[in-house]
């Protein structure tokens, strides 16, 4: 059975369709990459999976359970967590406290176990030395890492990454890829929306392409990137038949 399954999800805002009969499965341990032009409905798809936004129709299954009617906090506690494209830390709280919120509320830990979980996550995301700094004072890379740390603090089985590599230098990007590969190796299933394609290809083993809320292609990363549909729609290149 797949860990996550979207079944015919549909959602639109007025005339703009962000999810159009969207269906796919993600198996446990998988790393799925999501690409598509701006405004294609990629982030909206995350909102539908995390429960921030309710679908007009269709269902979301997680661990064999229909979670369509489940609230966002309940989905987080069930094991789905995400990072945001624009980092949104709790600015007045320390880095450690930011992760601690996820560890106590999302992962349901308390006391020493919660502290240990946070320290482990901060260590894995390279933020251990910044643990006591106010999150508002972090650099962009550190904020991106905190997004990842906070998502991991909830001890997810499914991790949703939203353009976490965007805006980073080449070197920063490489170290982030290393971290994400580590996370994946620890058994966490990943869905990753990313415009920095080479970063994505260094981690994922399957790609889907979304445009106007529709899944227009799915398969091996290399095959997808070379396909005519992707080059036309996503990269904007005219391809002669």
Strand 16-26's sheet: what is its strand order? 16-26, 4-13, 57-62, 65-66
The Cα angle at residue 148 between residues 46 and 175, in degrees rounded to 5: 120
**Residue 71 lies near another protein (rule: CB under 8 A):** yes
* Residues from 103 through 132 that contact another protein (CB under 8 A): 104-108, 110
Strand 31-35's sheet: what is its strand order? 80-82, 158-162, 189-193, 31-35, 206-211, 214-219
Output 102 or 196, the one with its CB closest to another protein.
Answer: 102
Q: What separation in angstroms does the CA of 199 have from each of 34, 189, 223, 235, 240?
A: 12, 17, 17, 16, 28
**Residue 102 lies near another protein (rule: CB under 8 A):** yes
Output 1 or 92, the one with its CB closest to another protein.
Answer: 92
Q: How near is the Cβ of 142 to another protein at its closest, in Å? A: 15
Q: Judged by CB under 8 A, which of 73, 86, 116, 123 binds another protein?
A: 73
**Residue 136 lies near another protein (rule: CB under 8 A):** yes
- Tokens (6 digits) for 71: 């609230």
Q: Judged by CB under 8 A, which of 6, 11, 48, 81 binds another protein?
A: 81
- Tokens (6 digits) for 86: 């624009």
Q: Where on the chain is the footprint of another protein (CB under 8 A)?
A: 50, 52, 71-74, 76-77, 81-82, 84, 88, 90-93, 97, 100-102, 104-108, 110, 134-137, 150, 153-154
């Amino acid at each position: 059975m797949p860990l996550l399954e979207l079944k015919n999800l549909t959602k639109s805002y007025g005339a703009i369709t962000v999810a159009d009969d969207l269906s796919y499965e993600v198996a446990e341990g998988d790393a799925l990459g999501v690409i598509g032009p701006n405004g294609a409905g990629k982030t909206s798809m995350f909102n539908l999976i995390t429960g921030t936004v309710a679908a007009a129709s269709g269902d979301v299954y997680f661990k064999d359970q229909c979670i369509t009617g489940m609230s966002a906090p309940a989905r987080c506690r069930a094991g789905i967590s995400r990072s945001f494209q624009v980092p949104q830390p709790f600015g007045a709280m320390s880095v450690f406290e930011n992760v601690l919120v996820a560890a106590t509320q999302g992962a349901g830990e308390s006391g020493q176990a919660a502290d240990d979980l946070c320290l482990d996550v901060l260590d894995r995301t390279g933020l251990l030395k910044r643990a006591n700094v106010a999150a508002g004072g972090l650099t962009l890379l550190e904020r991106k890492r905190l997004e990842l740390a906070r998502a991991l603090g909830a001890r997810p089985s499914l991790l949703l990454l939203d353009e976490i590599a965007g805006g980073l230098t080449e070197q920063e990007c490489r170290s982030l890829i290393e971290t994400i590969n580590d996370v994946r190796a620890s058994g966490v299933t990943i869905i990753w929306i990313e415009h920095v394609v080479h970063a994505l290809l260094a981690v994922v083993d399957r790609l889907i392409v979304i445009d106007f809320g529709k899944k227009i292609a799915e398969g091996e990363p290399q095959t997808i990137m070379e396909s005519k549909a992707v080059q036309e729609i996503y990269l904007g290149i005219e391809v002669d038949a």
